Amino acid sequence: MWHPRGARWCSPREAMKRKRRLLIVDDDPSSQEWLTLFSEQLGYRAEVVESGEQALEAFQRRRPDLVTLDLMLPGIGGLDTLKAIKALGHDVPVIMLSGHGHTRVIVDALRLGAADFLRKPLEPEELKLAFERALEKNRLEREIAYRRSQKPRPINEDRALFLHSRNPKMRAIDDVIDHVADTDVTVLVRGESGTGKELVARLLFERSGRSQKPFVKVNCAALPSELLESELFGYEKGAFTGAQRRKLGKFEIASGGTIFLDEISEMKPGLQAKLLQVLQDGEFSRLGGSGDVQAEARVIAATNRNLEAGVRDGTFREDLFYRLNVVTINIPPLRDRMDEIRPLAEQFLRHYARAYGKEPEPISDTLMHAFQHYAWPGNVRELENLMKRLVVLGSEKPLLQEIAARKVQVRPALSASESLSELERFMTGEVDRVSLKRIAREAAQVAEKRLIEKILYRTRWNRKEAAEILQISYKALLYKMKDAGLADSAR
């Protein structure tokens, strides 16, 4: 019997980490015992089978992270077993072992997809290095495959501004990112469209110990539920019509890294249940598969919706909400951090001037004044697009005309409406009486105006479409627009 000379015992801290699964395919009892003892000392969880047929069955039950495969097996030989594993679409690294390492056999094994070929008797350090090389090569191949499948990321230079922002709200967010980045806790990023939720997710990723692993973004609103499920969790060959080969899902591709689930509120309840299982148990199954796959990606989710309202109306699972809501980062809209408009605008201006080979002109006081009195429904993304347009067109006039045409002023809450400031004075003890009826009435008017503004902007001032969304008559909308001072905003 071999003895694991030089094998290093894992510390209790290492043992607490998620153990990788090693499948040992060998019919020799002494080899089985040695490999099991050695691999467990390295922190692996070993499963032993004695034949190629049993190995293929083991793959169906649970996908291992690594395989050692003996060349000489009863029934299906080692090379045929390797060929069958690869034919099924498995990308698990396989290390071939044999006491008869003829050159031709080694070449055949490597040509069929073996990660390595080692001769028995095995040296502990040699086998340990082979494990590490095979797993690292597999990780790099998955990451390269993922990167090739991705479109280039759009330019986004508000990262530097975020890191050096003087705005207290943004500094507080930066502090939270620093505190939780290097943990595995799930983070829920909340904010309106265009505020920079993906940027926050990427900063969490870049400051973590996972920064050298993949960052995988999934837009939950971009695909129908059925396609989103296969995108997240992958599928087996033959799982449905057209599934010609196994496909890895985003959770597997992001293994060891971070998966960013954008617009999580758009996920259907049935798929929410499967995501909940991943967060609770750390594993999932591919479509058409019976075995469990380990989920080793950190989850960051983002939404621009009110998830609590979704819980109340039954469109979002309460248990999933609490699983996601471990740490919450709320990004304020741009209208609530007007002090950042100038530095952001100048940053975007410099960036796109360089990108298009143009000399940037300073932003005029007239345009900056217009920016400071604009509601920014599209937030930072809208500002970036405007500055890009300024560089391309070379003139401020179209931007001034566009902003003037909308006539969307900074929302009343920014300058504090009389009713709300009265409430604040009452809460701080400056006054000893307050009219609840008047505050409720005026606050409702402010909220109504905000909502109508937002819907009109979203529909490009198509009043008929806006009335349908708001579930009121066309005449009622015109009346409310006039009452709110919005009647001429589209002219």
Of 186 and 168, the one with more pLDDT: 186
CA distance 305 to 301: 12
Q: Which of 33-42, 142-151, 292-301 is predicted most confidently?
A: 33-42
Distance CA 280, CA 274 (A): 10
Two tokens, residue 400: 């001034």
Q: How confident is the model at residue 295 (pLDDT cuts 50, 70, 90)?
A: confident
Give one DSSP letter per residue of 162-201, joined into a string: HHT---HHHHHHHHHHHHHTTS---EEEE--TTS-HHHHH
State whether residue 334 is helix, strand or coil: helix
Using a pLDDT cut of 70, give the percent of the chain over it. Answer: 84
Question: What's the CA gap between 181 and 318, in Å, rounded?
Answer: 25
pLDDT tens figures, 256-290: 899 999 999 999 988 999 999 999 888 888 888 77
**pLDDT-derived band of residue 242, with 50, 70 and 90 as boundaries?**
confident
What's domain 334-406's architecture? Answer: Orthogonal Bundle (1.10)
Q: Do domains 12-148 and 181-330 have the same CATH topology?
A: yes
Supply the pLDDT for residue 349: 93
Position 100 scores a pLDDT of 74
* Residue 19 pLDDT exceeds 80: no
- Alpha-carbon distance of 27 to 73, in angstroms, equals 6
Mean pLDDT of 231-236: 89
Domain ranges of the chain: 12-148, 181-330, 334-406, 416-483
For residue range 345-379, list pLDDT tens digits in order.
Answer: 998 999 999 989 988 889 999 999 999 988 898 89
Q: Is the pLDDT of residue 142 over 60?
A: yes
367-373 CB contacts, 8 Å cutoff, 24+ apart? 367/396, 367/399, 367/400, 368/341, 368/342, 370/399, 370/400, 370/403, 370/404, 371/341, 371/342, 371/345, 371/403, 372/338, 372/341, 372/410, 373/409, 373/410
| Region 325-336 average pLDDT | 92
DSSP 8: P
Read off the pLDDT of each residue in 318-328 and give the average, rounded to a whole number: 94
3-state helix, strand, coil in the chain (%, to 5): 50, 10, 35
Per-residue pLDDT at 463: 85
Measured between alpha carbons, how far is 120 from 129 in angstroms, rounded to an integer? 15
The correct CATH number of 181-330 out of 3.40.30.10, 3.20.20.140, 3.40.50.300, 3.90.1150.10 is 3.40.50.300
Q: Supply the pLDDT for residue 240.
A: 81
Compute CA distances 127 → 85, 121, 124, whole Å: 21, 10, 5
pLDDT given at position 153: 45
> CATH fold of 12-148, please?
Rossmann fold (3.40.50)
What's residue 412's pLDDT?
40
CA atoms within 13 A on the CB side of 206: 9
pLDDT score of 48 more than 60:
yes
The closest of 245, 231, 255 to 140, measured between CA atoms, is: 255
**pLDDT classification of 69: cutoffs 50, 70, 90:** very high
pTM of the model: 0.58
